[in-house]
Amino acid sequence: MSFDYKRMTKFEHNIGENEKKYRLYAGAALIAISIFTASIALLLVGMVLIGTGFSGWCPAYSGMGKNTCDPSENDQTSEDN
């Protein structure tokens, strides 16, 4: 498996709707836990999960060429515009 750095700069959506929801929930939970445990690592991971959940783009997925968006989701968004 090769990691493509040039693909990372395209900022194409590569996270599906279900995974966005899971990332937002997990990020919020990690931030809440980090407040009580005073863990900077959990806070940073939680912030990254929330950021990628809101943006719909994961740089690690871009570099690996992974895409969890459903083709039907892309069709619906293009029809709306």
Interval 32-52: pLDDT, tens: 999 999 889 999 999 999 988
Domain positions in the chain are 13-73
47: CB partners within 8 A, 6+ apart: 27, 31
Q: What is the pLDDT of residue 3?
A: 61
When pLDDT is cut at 50, 70 and 90, the band that residue 64 belongs to is: confident
User: With 70 as the cut, is the pLDDT of residue 16 above it?
Assistant: yes
pLDDT > 70: percent of the chain: 74
Average confidence score pLDDT of the chain = 79
Nearest of 29, 22, 9 to residue 52 by alpha carbon: 22
Give the CA-trace dihedral at 57, 77, 28, 66, to 10 degrees: -30
